[in-house]
Structure 1
Amino acid sequence: MAGLRSWHLFAICVLVWGTTWHAITYQIGHTTPEVGVALRFGLAGLCVLAMCLVRGERLGFALVDHGRLALQGVFMYGVSYICVYQAERHLPSGLVAVGYSASPLLIGLGAQLLFGMRVTGRFVAGGVLGLVGVALMFWPEFGKAAEGTSTALGAVFTVGSVLLSAIGSLTASRNRTSGLPFWPALGWGMVYGALAAAVIALAQGQSFALPSAPSWWISLLYLALAGSVLTFACYLTLQDRIGPGPSGTIGVMTPLLALVVSMLFEAFRPDLLTFAGAALAVAGNALMLRRPA
């Protein structure tokens, strides 16, 4: 990833993650969210660790380092993605993706609180603008909550996934500053996230029987290799370069593509509030990424 420029890394994350939200819908129709997450990140983590072995990278770590990697993996790849999969059972994938517009503000404030990284007023203003945009895009769906609990439950899972993912992202940033090597940390983190999801699935008595549907297998490979290995490698590299807050702005741009995909394949029909919210989210993103004069 070192040979790629920052905007290349940003674009890869937005383009791939913007389509993975829809790819997840092919998983939840055949397996439970917990099993789907366990298989996705188990495959992704093993691929990364196998690559590390070929490259001759060190895979052995002290127990305390494994604790840090487990903390990163459980939050960043495990329980947060279980919430994402659960949310997509109740909401269009594009709207679940929109919830991640809150990520940069949460991560930026968390980095300032925990690591002393300075957050500018412009960054906070852009984050608030993005949140307003999120609220506008969600507003029509929240109106449906009066008819049942499905939409409200989807919103709760979305909020949970954003908060848990922010904790995982901050932990990953701390692990990098602690000197843990990039690729082994990524691989072990994904394996620990998969193990956490598997434990939850087994505790609930869920089956790990593999479906025969080609769409499930294709989506699994896409989610594991492109949507996990490639994108998280790009994201964490970008986080090293520009900091956890600014790199989190990927979470503002990704939903825009996800909404388009949701319109094309999931019969989601936006209204004027959706477009107004999207415009505010883009404006907030630009404000957060704008360099000081």
Structure 2
Amino acid sequence: MNALLYGLVTIIWGTTWIAIGLQQGPVSAPVSIFWRFAVASALMIPILLARGKLRGLSGRDHLFCLLQGGCVFCFNFWCFYSATAWINTGLESVIFSMAILFNAVNGFLFFGQRPPARFYLATASGLTGIVLLFWQDLFTGGFSYSLLPGIGLSVLGTFGFSLGSTIGLRHQRKGLAVLTTNGWAMFYGTLLLAGIALARGDSFMPQLTVRYLGALFYLAIFGSIVAFAAWFTLVGRIGAGNAAWCTLLFPLVALTLSTFWEGYVWRANAVAGLTLILLGNLVMFARPGVLPRLSGHKKTPSADGASLADGGANQT
């Protein structure tokens, strides 16, 4: 069962990047993201209510859910949707996989969690990998600025996700129900996106094509509801630190799809760069005695999620 959940999360979150690319067109990014989470929220919150899983929160907790929604379900996705104008979705997923490094930094800034010694090796490996990954396009025939906006937006989106994970650690330390805080965060993120679209004067009319609507419902139902349900179930069974190993795998799924769908070319520098980035993530996860256990043994809450650097507070 755990292996099935692990594979489900990896495959769905590895394929959502292509679905994001399919939504590119005349509909603005804030409106596309709004419809994704409006559909997901309209389904998720009633389900939580019907199952008695939507717990009460204080006004202060709702404020933090609003901040989390702004980071994870608004800013984060706006950056990644916009970045597809400059780089392909597979490369976005690789940059996003470095969120654990941002988690270590934010854990130190907000909770005083000193990054482990392996953080510096992982960072060096990851940054070197990013340079190698984009070397061919950036430096062949002279320096090219064309990819920098896409890289920068992907990094900002990853940082937004990490900030949301930091807020998730705050929720976890207060003993708040993860499904409740994520349900409200998604709802508040949807409201923020509606406000942004209104302020920009964007039309809320979605593109009425099979391509766009298919991607929308895949992202809303599978990417935002099914995958999260599988993720939270997996976290409960094996612990978030073990479950987070899927972040090492979904970039491979995304880049494989990008090869066939977007024509991504695997050059030697790209292979070396991807290897170094995944190796950096592996270094952050692979502290002594920790391997992705899929045997059904559940970690205790006190051992699970104690540090952002160990992948224990991923809320999305």
TM-score w.r.t. structure 1 length? 0.87
Looking at structure 2, the residues matched to 95 and 107 of structure 1 have their Cα atoms a distance apart, in angstroms, of: 20
Does structure 2 retain, via aligned residues, the 8 Å contact 1:101–1:131?
no
Q: CA deviation at 1:287?
A: 2.4
Aligned with 1:290 (options 286, 291, 303): 286
Aligned with 2:68 (options 61, 65, 72): 72
In structure 1, the residue matched to 2:100 is 104
CA RMSD of superposed structures (Å): 2.7
In structure 2, the residue matched to 1:213 is 209
Q: What amino acid sits opposite 1:29 in the alignment? A: G
Superposed CA deviations along residues 158-181 of structure 1, whole A, max 9, x for unmatched, are 121111111011111211222222
Q: CA deviation at 1:140?
A: 2.4
- Percent identical among aligned pairs is 31
In structure 1, the residue matched to 2:82 is 86
Relative to structure 1, the CA distance from residue 282 to residue 58 in structure 2 (aligned partners, 3 Å threshold; closer, same or farther) is: closer
Q: What amino acid sits opposite 2:50 in the alignment? A: V
In structure 2, the residue matched to 1:260 is 256
Relative to structure 1, the CA distance from residue 101 to residue 140 in structure 2 (aligned partners, 3 Å threshold; closer, same or farther) is: farther
Query: Pairwise mapping of residues 158-197 of structure 1 onto structure 2 (< 5 A)?
Result: 158-197=154-193
Q: What amino acid sits opposite 1:179 in the alignment? A: G
Corresponding position: 1:120 with 2:116 = yes
Does structure 1 retain, via aligned residues, the 8 Å contact 2:248–2:282?
no
Runs (5+) with no aligned partner, structure 2: 290-316
Q: CA deviation at 1:146?
A: 6.8
Corresponding position: 1:200 with 2:173 = no
Corresponding position: 1:269 with 2:269 = no
Relative to structure 1, the CA distance from residue 141 to residue 230 in structure 2 (aligned partners, 3 Å threshold; closer, same or farther) is: farther
Q: CA deviation at 1:112?
A: 3.7
Relative to structure 1, the CA distance from residue 212 to residue 144 in structure 2 (aligned partners, 3 Å threshold; closer, same or farther) is: farther
Does structure 1 retain, via aligned residues, the 8 Å contact 2:137–2:144?
no
Higher helix fraction: Structure 1 or Structure 2?
A: 1
Q: CA deviation at 1:127?
A: 4.1
Range 172-181 or range 19-28, more displaced: 172-181
Looking at structure 1, the residues matched to 96 and 206 of structure 2 have their Cα atoms a distance apart, in angstroms, of: 30
Looking at structure 2, the residues matched to 184 and 164 of structure 1 have their Cα atoms a distance apart, in angstroms, of: 20
Three-state SS of the structure 2 residue aligned to 1:97 is helix
Q: CA deviation at 1:20?
A: 0.7
Q: CA deviation at 1:103?
A: 0.8
Three-state SS of the structure 1 residue aligned to 2:87 is coil
Corresponding position: 1:21 with 2:17 = yes
Q: What amino acid sits opposite 1:172 in the alignment? A: G
Query: Pairwise mapping of residues 138-149 of structure 1 onto structure 2 (< 5 A)?
Result: 138-143=134-139
Runs (5+) with no aligned partner, structure 1: none
Q: CA deviation at 1:90?
A: 1.7
Relative to structure 1, the CA distance from residue 234 to residue 168 in structure 2 (aligned partners, 3 Å threshold; closer, same or farther) is: farther
Q: CA deviation at 1:261?
A: 0.8
Corresponding position: 1:155 with 2:175 = no
Does structure 1 retain, via aligned residues, the 8 Å contact 2:45–2:54?
no
Q: CA deviation at 1:105?
A: 1.0
Range 211-220 or range 117-126, more displaced: 117-126
Q: CA deviation at 1:189?
A: 0.8
In structure 2, the residue matched to 1:51 is 47
Three-state SS of the structure 1 residue aligned to 2:98 is helix
Q: What amino acid sits opposite 2:182 in the alignment? A: L
In structure 1, the residue matched to 2:36 is 40
Superposed CA deviations along residues 177-233 of structure 1, whole A, max 9, x for unmatched, are 222222221211111111111211111100011222012111111111221223344
Looking at structure 1, the residues matched to 91 and 202 of structure 2 have their Cα atoms a distance apart, in angstroms, of: 27
Three-state SS of the structure 2 residue aligned to 1:28 is coil
Aligned with 2:219 (options 223, 233, 238): 223
Q: CA deviation at 1:252?
A: 4.2
Range 261-270 or range 113-122, more displaced: 113-122
In structure 1, the residue matched to 2:313 is none
Superposed CA deviations along residues 244-292 of structure 1, whole A, max 9, x for unmatched, are 7x76654443222211111100112121100111222232233222231
Does structure 1 retain, via aligned residues, the 8 Å contact 2:129–2:274?
yes
Superposed CA deviations along residues 90-145 of structure 1, whole A, max 9, x for unmatched, are 21111111211321111123224433446432344234323322221122233389
